[in-house]
Structure 1
């Protein structure tokens, strides 16, 4: 007896190879299995034992080769630091719009600050994102490895790529805890990201410090996303339901994500099925970006994901995007004698190219 074919639909989105189309299975949304998105205890990453660090690096390697998404626990970011950032985030977004608009990112030199509803669309084919956001680019003053005392030592070739500014803090002085809580959390994210960078290096069979110089002054960005609940639909209209943030891949090395208990993160597996990445108490989600896939010769996977807040309540997520400094250059770092699919690329050009790719999608609609 012939098996009835599963209905499908098409998803178009920007990629490092231009606009691509993915075939999506119209199957019920299901939870990601541990074999798809494992929970990895990364406490050995901070161990003095090289063998213990290598052991956890192999777990990370397996997850990176599979779906490029995994949870981490025992990551070292204190719970009270995350709680304070979350509470400061809610305090900001629950204000009247006119107060939030004081920190309008369009008025900032480097677009740090607030983005209002109906102003963002990561995938124009899916419509405007149903979210508000607040973002802040890497600032060496809040990096424990640099700090105020080390600002004078930053080379000029690095300094001209820094995109930090006081604007968002000046415009949110009515909430003094916002700057204090967020910059403290940013400092913890920087520490964790550097540890994970060394872990990834070990998993690739490289010296664990081989990328240290490239993330001395990283291309990093800290964000707050605020998602009101989406309207629930049934029938054919459900296929066209608006998204909280559209389907996309991230640009640089990897992203560290904290999400609240409401859920909404969805990950597209290789078979074209959307999976729930449910919140797990005490964990963070890590997902790989396009540059990581490139420098590993496509051995590691940068996977399409999106968010849909269908909880009926407000939802918050806090992503931390991490990559090599924009002044750096990097090529394929693995593969032995095999063919390298990609040449060297300046990180500044890579990020600019990916932004152009995404904007070009909107121009074609």
Structure 2
């Protein structure tokens, strides 16, 4: 039976200076356990950095297709994937799968030495890395709040995100006929219904709608527009690590704006060698490293690997 539409909580960090924050932690706990998504406002990131990264995303996707295709995606999840090159195959929602109507440039933390940057786009690399550093700083600031919300010892998460594993997508959705995107069926998904692999995903608000979410027991709900905010969702890694206490909520993207749409999600997780074997007080999980789970996830999406989930 339908449970109605979910409201996405808003966490305002403007007056939080770190330390104990019972009310804020309780709000985050509700978001993690009941919705799987929350907005973050008062985050302290200069929004001009976000706007500059949206602009760089558009610059990249305006390149000739041959120039973009010269940076083919690697198994390390860096490089370019064209429209129709990825299929959502990682959850029980997979039904045989249409290719996703999205193209993306993928990059990771620069220190890993795995990125392949386009030529002829001065400033692109620098602005993208500036954005990633800003989101990394925000995520590190949030980790103590996640510890409070999850009842973990202070500092328990911090050492496991030093450094964090970061994977960014500069995504472009072609213009599709304007219309109603409510039904999660039929053709024309930008990204078909899925869950993320991450601990948490950061999605800065842009000027076009398109994201729909469905927490367990709820109806599909279009994410509202909250200017200047980040929409943050928990992913499979956090759900697994928490023994299933935290939701990894289904969502899809369908561009029915009649215009081209860009998006710059950043997928944030612990160090790749971190074993997701159960948090203190959260039961146990089948041990797997974050890196191994992420590799399985990307191999199924981009390479058609049908191996079972580790």
**Correspondence for 1:350:** 293
Distance in 1, matches of 2:303 and 2:127, equals: 36
Q: CA deviation at 1:311?
A: 0.6
1:361 to 1:346, Cα distance in 2 relative to 1, 3 A: same
Under a length normalisation based on structure 1, what TM-score does the superposition of the two structures give?
A: 0.74
Unaligned runs of 5+ in 2: none
Report which of the two structures shows the higher radius of gyration computed on alpha carbons: 1
Distance in 2, matches of 1:273 and 1:297, equals: 24
1:360 to 1:101, Cα distance in 2 relative to 1, 3 A: closer
**Correspondence for 1:152:** none
1:56 aligns with 2:24: yes
1:239 to 1:319, Cα distance in 2 relative to 1, 3 A: closer
1:115 to 1:357, Cα distance in 2 relative to 1, 3 A: closer
1:82 to 1:233, Cα distance in 2 relative to 1, 3 A: closer
Distance in 2, matches of 1:184 and 1:296, equals: 31
1:207 aligns with 2:124: no
Under a length normalisation based on structure 2, what TM-score does the superposition of the two structures give?
A: 0.86
**Correspondence for 2:78:** 112
Q: CA deviation at 1:362?
A: 7.5
1:360 to 1:135, Cα distance in 2 relative to 1, 3 A: closer
Distance in 2, matches of 1:310 and 1:139, equals: 34
1:296 to 1:239, Cα distance in 2 relative to 1, 3 A: closer
Count of residue pairs the alignment pairs up: 300
Residue pair 1:77, 1:188 contacting (<8 A) in 2 also? yes
Residue pair 1:230, 1:243 contacting (<8 A) in 2 also? no
Residue pair 1:233, 1:241 contacting (<8 A) in 2 also? no
Q: CA RMSD in A?
A: 2.8
Q: Which has the higher strand share?
A: 1
Q: CA deviation at 1:95?
A: 2.3
Residue pair 2:108, 2:115 contacting (<8 A) in 1 also? no
Structural mapping, 1:211-290, within 5 Å:
211-231=157-177, 239-290=185-236
Cα distance per residue 1:221-271 (max 9 Å; x no partner): 11111111224579xx99412200111111121101124111100101323
Q: CA deviation at 1:329?
A: 1.8
Matched position secondary structure for 2:265: strand
Distance in 1, matches of 2:72 and 2:302, equals: 21
1:332 to 1:41, Cα distance in 2 relative to 1, 3 A: same
1:333 aligns with 2:279: yes
1:354 to 1:166, Cα distance in 2 relative to 1, 3 A: closer
1:349 to 1:363, Cα distance in 2 relative to 1, 3 A: closer
**Correspondence for 1:9:** none
Q: CA deviation at 1:190?
A: 0.8
Distance in 2, matches of 1:216 and 1:173, equals: 31
Distance in 1, matches of 2:98 and 2:218, equals: 20
**Correspondence for 1:94:** 62
Q: Which has the higher helix share?
A: 1
Cα distance per residue 1:286-333 (max 9 Å; x no partner): 000112112222111111111001011111111111111111223222
1:139 to 1:86, Cα distance in 2 relative to 1, 3 A: same
Structural mapping, 1:153-192, within 5 Å:
162=112, 164-168=113-117, 172-192=118-138
1:85 to 1:201, Cα distance in 2 relative to 1, 3 A: same
